[in-house]
Chains A and B, each alone.
Chain A
Amino acid sequence: MPAEHSLIGFRQNVLASIPALRRYARALTRDAEIADDLVQDTLVRALRSEHLFKGEETRSWLYTILTNLNRNRLRSLARRPAHAPLGDNDAVEHAGPEAGMRDIERALQSLVPEQRTALLLVVLEGLSYREVAEVQGVPIGTVMSRLARARAQIKGFLDGERPALRRVK
């Protein structure tokens, strides 16, 4: 029964991807609750449309769904006045390893979403450039330039150049 086998394989692949999807969603959103909601929506969509799944790489497909859902979420947020995240970015800095972790979070948050997505898919999720191009629906060259800009921006941010986010009292 090859059909049944592939169905079971599909669900197992979906299940096996959950920890990675949660990690990716948290890094994307910086909010564990929003992240898990995104993951849940992604899984429900994937399971509902498993009949559409034609054996491509399950993992890339899941990342694509989650990435698109997050983009929709950001678009609907953009229509509302945004003020909440600013307070977070202004958190008082402390020394020590925790401060370092918050720095990388804020550095990521300073990226435009497409760059953040490309960088996280490559460095956190280990996707190939080609897979990221598929997830984002752009040529590999665009992925490369997003990656380059993201890395330059983060380096600048961590080196202390962050005019946009300087503390405003």
Chain B
Amino acid sequence: MIDRSPPPVTEDELHAYVDRELPADRMLAVEAWLATHPDDMARVAAWRAQIDAIRLRYDTDEPVPARFNVERLLNGDRRWKRIAAAAAVVAFLAGSAGGWIARDALHAAPAMAPGFEAFTAEAIEAHKLYVVEVRHPVEVPAADADHLVQWLSKRLGYQLKAPNLESLGLRLVGGRLLPGPTGAAAFLMYENASGERFTIYCGRSSAPETALRYSENGPATSVYWATQDVAYVVSGSGNRKQIGDVAVAAYKQIEQETPAPRGG
């Protein structure tokens, strides 16, 4: 006969006792209960033995393999992005290479991805307006290219990249800041030895992601694309192939060579 029986102990409390989750004010009661209830004491002992066995089986201090390096995990992601970008270029080149199938594919494509009309219209207007300008085609000349990129990046709110197109015989003339349909837009102008001008117009845009596509508008031909929240329009007055080449070169530099995120 126990004269002062402790308050009844629940099974939940026994688990909490084993897992060190029992409130301090119940410790004595549970321990007193176990001292007088051998069946429960045996259960508690069995659960503790399970814990020891599980830890013994799975606890390990083996070194972390290289595949779990943060840089590698992030770069793995980047490799995938690079492949996607390369695939977009291949698809575009195949489309522009001519032939009935490719032409059909181009015609079958929707006339213009939604959200792009205003953006490309602005880009083509700017192109037409400034390529004929002799004295003031740009606000900031290429001599100040670093300043130009820094300034435009600040105004656009993301890191702008002025692609190097010298392999195509194009040198940067300079750039300017323009009002775009959804905020600030950057305008970069390039020129070849014979004075032909190509422009890149870009800015933040809510247009859905799109691979490279042609758009023709009078004498100007454009190629446009959009990534997550930035849209680009490359325009020129030459033939499709010429503008396609410029767009692909610009696209490759912009989409594939953005600096890798810094690992912590």
Contact = CB atoms under 8 A, between A and B. Distances in A.
A47 B21 CA distance: 32
Given A40-B73, A47-B70, A19 B64 contact: yes
Contact of B54 (A39, A43, A120): A120
Contact of B55 (A124, A128, A151): A124
A59 interface: no
Contact of B21 (A36, A101, A129): A129
Nearest to B42: A155
Contact of B67 (A23, A40, A47, A129): A40
Given A11-B264, A40-B68, A47 B60 contact: no
Nearest to B19: A122
Nearest to B65: A36
A94 B11 CA distance: 34
Interface string B24-62: 000000000000000000010011001101111111110
A65 interface: no
Nearest to B74: A47
A122 B19 CA distance: 7
B133 interface: no
Interface string A105-126: 1011000000000011011100
B57 A12 contact: no
Contacts of B16: 129
B51 A123 contact: yes
Contacts of B46: 151, 155
B142 to A, nearest CB: 33
Interface of A: 7-12, 14-15, 18-19, 22-23, 26-27, 36, 39-40, 43-44, 47-48, 100-101, 103-105, 107-108, 119-120, 122-124, 128-129, 144, 147-148, 151, 154-155, 158
20 contacts: A9-B264, A10-B264, A12-B264, A22-B60, A39-B68, A40-B67, A43-B70, A47-B70, A101-B56, A104-B57, A107-B50, A108-B54, A123-B54, A123-B55, A124-B59, A129-B21, A147-B19, A151-B50, A155-B46, A155-B50
